[in-house]
């Protein structure tokens, strides 16, 4: 629903937490450290395998996730095939967005 973003959802028992951040941040983090604040992403290596480390921070709690870089790159390739970089604005439903904004104000 947001062509500019990626979402990570964590489920622990009945508790669900979503993290949403810019797709371009994840792309940048494949190659070099990127992000400041709540989300930081960067390349690293674990046991000879290229990985991507994603650090999520909220208040005094943080989580550090690691995934194989090839899996993150494959995921990003699929997102770029579905919504090519630079065309995100064409995939926004502005009528729905305006409707939601008007409902929130009313």
Across the chain, mean pLDDT equals 86
Residue among 62, 60, 61, 77 at smallest CA distance from 26: 77
Task: Tell me the whole-structure pTM to 2 decimals.
Answer: 0.76
State how far the Cα of 88 lies from the Cα of 36, in Å rounded to an integer. 23
Express as a percent the part of the chain with pLDDT over 70: 92
Grade residue 6 by pLDDT with cuts at 50, 70 and 90.
confident
Tokens in use for 27? Answer: 């792309």
Which distant-in-sequence residues (6+ apart) come within 8 Å of 68 by Cβ? 49, 50, 51, 52
């Amino acid at each position: 629903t947001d062509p500019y973003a990626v979402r990570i959802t964590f489920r622990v028992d009945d508790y669900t937490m979503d993290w949403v951040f810019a797709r371009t941040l994840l792309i940048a983090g494949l190659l070099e450290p990127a992000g400041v604040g709540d989300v930081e992403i960067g390349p690293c290596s674990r046991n000879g395998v290229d990985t991507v480390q994603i650090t999520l921070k909220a208040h005094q709690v943080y989580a550090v996730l690691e995934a194989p870089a090839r899996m993150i790159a494959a995921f990003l390739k699929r997102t770029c095939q579905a919504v090519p970089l630079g065309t995100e604005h064409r995939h926004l439903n502005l009528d729905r967005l305006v409707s939601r904004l008007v409902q929130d104000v009313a």
